[in-house]
Each structure stands twice: as C-alpha cells, then as structure tokens.
C-alpha cells in the first residue's frame, strides 16, 4: 500500500512516496530545496572561514592550528571537489534528519533514499563530475607524456592513480558508527572492550624525549629525512574542508572542545607536562574532507558508502610537487612569456644570480614574519613561495629541494633547446618534465628505498622491474598516506643545519631551531640562499629513531609555533588522523603483512624486543589490537639495513611495488624512453643535480650516505647527465 506525506524540517517540505519496506522516493522539488539550502549553508561557512582566516593573518594572530589548516587548504580543482562533497554531505544530512523525525529513529540515509535520488543529488551538487570517465581517446600524446592529473594513465580504469580521487583501502575502515564517525569520537565508547587512550597522553608517555638529546644516525644524512618528505609530497596530500566551524551548530573549531564535524579536537590530559595539573584545553584538529559522495551519502567511484578521504595528488612518481596535479596549477607555474618551456621564477630576488621560486599572489601572507622571529620591526618581509605542492614553505630544507628542482627543470629545458632548436616551448616543457619524472623514479628506487625498507624487502618486492600490469591499481592506500609513510617524522633533527664551504657551522647564518625554520622563505632570500641549507642536508646526520628517543619536542611541543599561542604536537596529530580515517589497529595490519599478532605483553615484548616499552603500551591501550598503527609501526625495531620495522617495511614496499607496476609511463616500460635514453637515466645522480644548480663545489657522491668531508667528491669529477639521446634527427 502506497502512502504520501509531507513533513517540515529545517525549513524544507519533503513530499515523500514509499512502500513500507522500500526506499523512500523524494520529489524533485524536495531534493532541489535540500540542495539549495545545503549550498547556502556551505557557502556561508566557506566565506566566514575565508574572512576570518584573512583577518587573523592580517592581525598577525594566526595560531599554529590556523597554519596547519591553511597548509591543508584545498585549492583549484581540489577545492571544487571538496566543496561538492560538502554540498552533497550536508544535503543528504538535511534529508536524513527529516526522515528521522518522521520515523522517530536514527537511520542510515542510504537505507531509505533510493539510488536514483542519490544520483540526482550528486548531479545537483557537482559530485557526478567527480566520477565522470575522462575522454582518453581525444587526449593528445597519451603514449608519450603524462597528463598533469594522471587521468588516462590506465586506459581501462582511467581514474586509477589520478589526482582528486579517494585513497584506496587495503583493509576495511573501522568507523565508530560503521560509516563516518572516527574511532574514539565518543571517548566513553570501547574498542575491543577497552577505552582508547588520549593521543596526547600516548605522545607524552611513549614518544617524548625526556632529556631532549637526540642520537645521530651513524649511516644516513639529514637529506634522507627531507627526501622522505619530498617524495611524500609527490604522492599524497589529504585536504581538509576549508571551514573552521561546524556546519551543524556553528561552533568554531578553534574555540571549543566539542566534537562536531569537522571539529575533532585533541583533548589535553590532566597533569600534562606542558599545561599543568588542571588543564581542560584542547588542541584544535580538523577532520580530513570526505571524498565526494562517500560517508552516508551513497556510492561513489564504485565504492561503498563509508567515508573515504581524498588524495589531491597523483599516485605516480611524476614530480607533481614541481609541476602541480591539475591543469590550472600547472599553467600558472609555467613561464608563458616566452616559448622556451621554462617554469616561472622569482622576478624580485635571486640567490647569487640563481633562480628562486616565485612568490604567491595571495593577498595575505601566511608565512611567518621576519619581524616576529627576529624582533626587528624594520625587517623587510617577503611573501610565501609558490610551487607545485602547497607545502613548499613548510621548512627551509624542503623549500631548498623545491628550488633546486625548479632550477633543474629550467636547466634541462635550456639544454634541450640548444640540442633541438626546432622544438617549441610545449615540447621543451614536456620533455624536461618527463626527464625529471625519470630522475626521481630512478633515485627513489635505486638509492632511497634501500635505506628505508632494507635489502630483504628490496629483493622480495622492489628489485627487477616486472613490467607494466594494467590490472594493478597504483592508487595510494589510506594506511600508507596516514601512517606508514609518516615514519620519517622520527628522523627529523631539532635544527635546520646551515653549513659553510668547509661544511662547518655557518658563521653568518647559524642553524635555526626547527620551529624557527617553519614557513620562513625570508631565510632563503636574506640569509645565504640554498647552498648553506643543502650542505646541511648532505653534510649532517639524520636523527636516529630509537625506542627511547622517538620524537624531539621541536615537533612534539613546538610544531608551527610562531608565538606564545598553543603549538601543535605532530605525534598526536598523526594518531588522531589515523582515528579520523578509521584505520584498523596495529595487529590487523601485522596480519595483513603476514606477521605475527602478539596477544599479550610477553608476545608484544618479543616483537618489540623491549619489555619496558611493551608494558608502557599495554598500560595505555589495554590490548595490542588497539595500538594506533602509526605508533606500533614506528615502535618496531628496524629491519636489517633499513630505518623502519617489519610492518612499515611491508606497507611501504607494497605501495611502491604497486606504484611502479601500475604506471604505464614508468621509465623502464618499453616505449616510454628509447634504449639510449634509459641508459642515460640509469646514471642519474642527485649529487650532479646539486652541482649543476648551486655554488657548491664538493659533495658526497652518494648524498644519502653520511661520510666525512675528506671523502667528498669535487663536482668536476662527477659525470654530467648525458642528454645526447634526446637529440632529434631532423631529415
């Protein structure tokens, strides 16, 4: 028997037709009203957040949480995707609340809203565009050059590995409600019959270095640490929603400890060492934006309705942090004033005549002001730099790599122009970009990963190239982005070292503490440029992660600290992010990798090779199952020859195995480069790139491996990259 009714909720009249046991069908006008209200609400929240952010920056009162949120802001095509997701999520919630009021019970919206109506909502909110198949047949040069977004890399599954698509999951999500709410959202709700500990309490008890001293890595340079960040920023970027207050009740996430989407604040435990005995404060924390159509809003990209997070970057080693991951950004970064295939450079400053990154054109400057750090009220300020990735200003070591690779692209483009005078700017740009991608595929697999996952995992999963397999999905997994590839946070030194020509502490520009090197492009412009920083990366050891000296307080207590305001704690952020993304616990990932699953303190102590650490973990978590996967991973003893334990070695090796095998344009794949070009790429040298683009004259031939200056190599003795195979024979 059919029945028809109208109900009023949130100012909407929803005219519904249904069978008692069937999905509810909504009238088109009811759907349109819900979408209009959702768009108005979301747009107002976006506008409020934008104005408030600008005002805070202008008042010089941006907090560390503002910095993190602004750093994670979606831009360009990503912002459109996130906004569409917010539209759809809020529209479905409006309808859900209306249905709940009528049914007088809590429901899953997709249990009653038909697939047809969800499709209409997706069309009206813009979510449908996120799942539309790209027109690969009409895209030029697909066999020769990558698209910027990497759509059509796989001809059969055209969005695999492309930007602005959801992370893939290797194990099912474990949301508190099975759909969207993070693990630990309700702190009184048990997981495996145990309460989850506060992430800040875990950070204090397990990751804190009591005497602030670090142990230096005996084998590897600080470049290994920053290169890890560099490669991560080529592969993963998880945007936040741009809003700073809740859609549902208007609460400002920075001013409340209430948990209301997107606010998921980190509670400060009592007797916290930094805050005292009676602290009731919280560290602001914003949830990652949902991928369009996921999380209680139906099916998208063929996935189930659980909340999925988005990767705004491509999954391929394609140097997107130099070139961008969408067409608009890529064009913005190019120098189109000439037909030379060059990237834009700074027009106001140089580094002893060498190119610097261009400045952003934002109306406000979110980078740390020179005056605030130096106490010089007359100090000349500069804006943030702009590069292919939004995080290029995060620290001066990372900024230096961005600048180095900008210079290398332009050096290649100019050299290719001399070699092939008939090539136009588009060809020069694409060929230089393609070579750069080849460089970093070689450097990552040949030089870098060996030091991280060790020779055994290299031999097992990452040695001989097996060829392209169109059935391998290269998309980045949620656990890789959110946990495993954050291992290098425990290899970060408390200083950003700056060394002189003799690789000694620089007299004029001493090494700043890390928290004074966050978002400080002026240190590069006014304090000696790239050379001292790059010498510091290759001439100083990385921090060694040990079980009693995990994360220095420069990251644990002073993350993005520019003022006296509450700074952030990177360890807490990592664990809270894993809970936000509903990652399964430590033991399930051990099982995924075919490793043992310790059930008690004795077994955990055997895995960790540390009785005291095992006891401390179980005092906090109660059961090994509940240990946050990031923490469990970084707590394990290293595999032979590596800098991660067996769990993270497995997850990292598995991800890079998929990235390589699922990339149709991988440098070793037949037809991507000629045989002669592949032979040149095999000789790629990071040391040579440094020599070609700086004033540095001596470097370690293997920059990831620490050695004394007496064993450095003169740049003139390091072979130049051979570009002759790129000379085109013109008949």
Strand partners, 6: 15
Determine whether 444 is exposed, middle or buried from the number of CB atoms within 10 Å of its CB (0-12, 13-18, 19+).
buried
Report the largest interatomic distance among the alpha carbons of the chain, rounded to a whole angstrom. 89
Q: Residue 195's Cα: distance from chain center in Å?
A: 29
Catalytic-role residue among 89, 222, 233, 409: 233
d(CA 151, CA 149): 6
> Is 489 noted as a catalytic residue in this protein?
no
650 membership: H or E segment, kind and range: helix 646-661
**Contact in structure between 391 and 305 (CB atoms under 8 Å):** no
d(CA 555, CA 229): 14
d(CA 45, CA 52): 10
320: left (phi over 0), alpha (psi -120 to 50) or beta: alpha
H-only helix segments in 242-303: none
- Provide the CB-side half-sphere exposure for 622 (13 A, CA): 10
440-426-337-689 Cα dihedral, nearest 10 degrees: 20
Residue among 425, 480, 462 nearest 313 (CA)? 480
Backbone angles phi, psi at 574, to 5 degrees: -60, -45
Structure-token pair, residue 190:
């048990």
d(CA 665, CA 659): 11
The 8-class DSSP code of residue 132 comes to P
Strand partners, 385: 359
d(CA 270, CA 590): 33
563: left (phi over 0), alpha (psi -120 to 50) or beta: beta
Handedness of CA 545, 549, 553, 554 (dihedral sign): negative
- Distance between the two ends of the chain, CA-based, in angstroms? 79
**Contact in structure between 470 and 154 (CB atoms under 8 Å):** yes
Structure-token pair, residue 14:
């929803």
Concatenating the DSSP letter of every residue in 52-107 gives HHHHHHHTT---HHHHHHHHT---HHHHHHHHHHHHHHHHHHHHHHHHHHHHTS--
H-only helix segments in 256-357: 320-323, 327-333
The residues annotated with a catalytic role in the active site are 233
């Amino acid at each position: 028997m059919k029945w028809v009714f109208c109900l009023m909720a949130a100012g909407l009249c929803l005219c519904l037709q249904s069978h008692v046991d069937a999905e509810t069908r909504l009238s088109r006008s009811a759907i349109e009203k819900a979408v209009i209200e959702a768009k108005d609400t979301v747009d107002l929240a976006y506008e409020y957040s934008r104005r408030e952010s600008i005002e805070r920056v202008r008042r010089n009162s941006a907090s560390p949480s503002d910095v993190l949120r602004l750093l994670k802001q979606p831009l360009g095509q990503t912002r459109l995707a996130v906004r569409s997701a917010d539209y759809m999520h809020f529209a479905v919630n409006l309808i859900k609340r209306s249905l709940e009021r009528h049914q007088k019970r809590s429901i899953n919206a997709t249990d009653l809203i038909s697939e047809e109506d969800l499709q209409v909502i997706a069309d009206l909110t813009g979510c449908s565009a996120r799942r539309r198949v790209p027109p690969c047949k009409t895209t030029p040069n697909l066999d020769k050059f990558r698209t910027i977004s990497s759509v059509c890399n796989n001809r059969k599954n055209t969005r695999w590995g492309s930007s602005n698509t959801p992370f893939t999951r290797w194990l099912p999500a474990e949301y508190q409600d099975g759909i969207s709410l993070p693990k630990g959202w309700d702190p009184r709700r048990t997981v495996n019959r145990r309460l989850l500990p506060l992430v800040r309490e875990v950070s204090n008890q397990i990751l804190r270095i009591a005497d602030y001293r670090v142990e230096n890595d005996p084998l590897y340079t600080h470049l290994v640490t920053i290169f890890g960040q560099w490669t991560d920023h080529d592969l993963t970027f998880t945007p936040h929603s741009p809003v700073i207050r809740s859609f549902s009740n208007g609460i400002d996430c920075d001013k409340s400890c209430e948990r209301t989407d997107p606010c998921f604040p980190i509670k400060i435990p009592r007797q916290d060492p930094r805050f005292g005995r009676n602290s009731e404060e919280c560290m602001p924390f914003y949830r990652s934006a949902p991928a369009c159509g996921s999380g209680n809003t139906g099916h998208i990209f063929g996935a189930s309705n659980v909340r999925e997070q988005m990767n705004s970057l491509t999954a391929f080693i394609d140097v997107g942090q130099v070139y961008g991951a969408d067409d608009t950004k890529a064009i913005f970064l190019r120098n189109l004033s000439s037909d030379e295939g060059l990237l834009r450079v700074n027009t106001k400053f140089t580094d002893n005549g060498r190119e610097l990154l261009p400045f952003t054109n934002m109306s406000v400057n979110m980078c740390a002001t020179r005056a605030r750090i130096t106490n010089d009220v007359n100090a000349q300020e500069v804006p943030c730099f702009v590069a292919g990735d939004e995080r290029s200003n995060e620290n001066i070591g990372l900024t230096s790599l961005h600048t180095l690779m900008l210079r290398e692209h332009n050096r290649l483009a100019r050299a290719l122009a001399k070699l092939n005078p008939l090539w136009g700017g588009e060809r020069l740009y694409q060929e230089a970009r393609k070579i750069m991608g080849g460089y970093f595929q070689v450097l990552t697999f040949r030089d870098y990963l060996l030091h991280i996952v060790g020779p055994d995992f290299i031999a097992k999963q990452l040695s001989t190239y097996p060829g392209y397999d169109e059935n391998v999905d290269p998309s980045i997994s949620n656990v890789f982005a959110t946990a495993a590839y954050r291992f290098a946070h425990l290899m970060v030194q408390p200083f950003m070292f700056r060394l002189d020509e003799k690789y000694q502490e620089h007299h004029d520009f001493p090494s700043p503490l890390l928290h004074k090197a966050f978002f400080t492009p002026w240190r590069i412009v006014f304090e000696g440029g790239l050379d001292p920083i790059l010498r510091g990366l290759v001439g100083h050891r990385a921090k060694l992660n040990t079980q009693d000296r995990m994360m220095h307080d420069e990251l644990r207590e002073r993350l993005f600290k520019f003022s006296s305001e509450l700074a952030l704690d990177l360890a807490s952020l990592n664990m809270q992010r894993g809970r936000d993304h509903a990652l399964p616990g430590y033991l399930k990932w051990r099982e995924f990798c075919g490793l043992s699953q310790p059930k008690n303190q004795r077994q955990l102590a055997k895995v960790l090779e540390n009785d005291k650490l095992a006891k401390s973990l179980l005092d906090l978590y109660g059961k090994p199952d509940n240990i946050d996967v990031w923490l469990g991973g970084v707590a394990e003893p290293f595999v032979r020859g590596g800098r991660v334990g067996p769990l993270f070695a497995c997850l990292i090796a598995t991800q890079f195995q998929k990235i390589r095998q699922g990339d149709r344009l991988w440098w070793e794949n037949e037809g991507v480069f000629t045989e002669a070009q592949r032979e040149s790429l095999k000789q790629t040298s990071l040391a040579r790139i440094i020599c070609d683009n700086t004033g540095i004259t001596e470097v370690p031939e293997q920059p990831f491996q620490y050695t004394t200056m007496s064993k450095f190599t003169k740049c003139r003795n390091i072979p130049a990259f051979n570009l002759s195979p790129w000379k085109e024979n013109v008949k």
